[in-house]
Chain A
């Protein structure tokens, strides 16, 4: 951040040549970094490092004024939320910090900033300049959500009718009697689902809500970190983190290769009352089948009860989808409009097979449904293929947000880098 003065100038000079025709007729464009912030992108796209926060940057939100709020997993210098102010170059500087709690969720809508700890959801008022007016006295809108260490993060999103949706992840891999123990079978009816393993709906404008006043909106979801509201068909979509360790727990049924390739990470289209079937099933993305979980009598091939929700789309196993964003901007070419970006944090549960992920995927949509093959959009957060394969990525993409100009922002909870991806070609 120290050399933020000289570098952009050089870049601007360099870019001035190539974009001179364009800049005569349009608004000034945000200049990407010379190396596109280390990312590999489709032609015409560029990327810049907006800021290095040095914290574990989970989700992020951008206000209409371009202010960026970043939720840190653990407070840094006592601040769990960082505010970044944009500068003329398109980069930003950390200007403020507040909220003494760590967490994941953060979302801006309708003049409010919402943020979550691993137990509670808070709301802050934003003024006309996109500044938080009550940083030390937020409204606590939801409290007492379950946090038993595992799958603890509470991701949040709002719909257009004043509701907030909160993920409460299951504190378990597959609802075994003994979590992750070899051969341990599933708990009958999985009582975890009463208070976790689903999405809860609350009012966005009401203080003092708890489980009792909320609605279990969807269940049978092991752990959701990335979720977003699709405005086209007015519906919630979530990315589930699929179960781990089929081989470790049931070595007679699955070898390490099968365990690395199964189950798929799934995108679900949620309607009220939906049940995606965790822990009773997992989705085999290769055969497109819902398979009865071995903890509940499965043998690797028996099918699950068909009553459970079918995934809307499936992706390679264990890549840990941590961010989901429906792109509604106009900066990117038309094919991206209303499609979904998914930030895959990267796998660990593919070992001893090479790890996978550490990239942002684009999933095309048509009329509010996935349509067509997904593609890797922004790659090389890891720094190299070898680092990705070893699971030793330099950066791990986590949160996604859209800027007022249609830029795509990506947060990284490994090194704390905030990226901004722009499209400058016409």
Chain B
């Protein structure tokens, strides 16, 4: 009974893994030259796709996290507060910190594999989803944190 099934699984693996990988390459898009106040729908869409791919497993589709494990991204001090600190969470990861007075036992791995544009987009999306409303995170803000906060 060990013979048949593994092969089906392997075949599936081979078929599905290639396109899954290809999806990771960010779609080409126009450079972000948005007005100071307005946040373009394209930015939010791009941010949502990065969120879905890289953040959703832990922070969940509704952005409300997992009890005692992964914190919510809705109306937290980190998300709505100082942008340098927020960008730093993605660049360096985070562990052992209480979020809005609650303890979380998971670990936030560094997302440094994202490029500056992707980080700006996903954080802009997070700051404008799950009930949040806050200004965009720009590519140059991300660049600055990355330049100064390199470990």
| Chain A positions near chain B (C-beta within 8 angstroms) | 56, 73-74, 149-152, 178-183, 244-245, 247-248, 251-258, 284, 286-289, 300-301, 348-349, 351-352, 390-392, 396, 414
Contacts and interface: CB of A to CB of B under 8 A. Distances in A.
B42 interface: no
Contacts of B34: none
Given A152-B105, A348-B70, A414-B67, A301 B57 contact: no
A251 B20 contact: yes
Interface residues of B, number: 37
Given A301-B10, A351-B56, A251 B21 contact: yes
B113 A182 contact: yes
19 contacts: A149-B107, A178-B110, A179-B109, A181-B109, A182-B113, A245-B57, A252-B21, A253-B17, A254-B13, A256-B20, A286-B5, A300-B13, A300-B17, A301-B10, A301-B13, A348-B57, A348-B60, A351-B56, A396-B67
A255 B61 contact: no
Chain B at the A interface: SS class? loop
B2 A288 contact: yes
Interface in B37-62: 52, 54, 56-58, 60-62
Interface of B: 1-2, 5-6, 9-10, 12-13, 16-17, 20-21, 24, 52, 54, 56-58, 60-62, 64, 66-70, 93, 95-96, 103, 105-107, 109-110, 113
A391 B57 contact: no
Nearest to A261: B9
Nearest to A245: B57
A149 B95 contact: yes
Contacts of B61: 351-352, 390
B138 to A, nearest CB: 24
A245 B54 CA distance: 11
Contact of B13 (A74, A251, A253, A349): A253
B52 A252 contact: no
Point out which of A244, A245, A255, A257 has the most chain B C-beta atoms below 10 A from its C-beta: A255
Given A300-B13, A348-B60, A349-B57, A252 B20 contact: yes
Q: Which residue, of B16, B57, B60, has the highest number of chain A Cβ atoms within 10 A?
A: B57
B73 to A, nearest CB: 14
B69 A255 contact: no
Contact of A352 (B24, B56, B64, B69): B56
A152 B106 CA distance: 10
A150 B5 contact: no
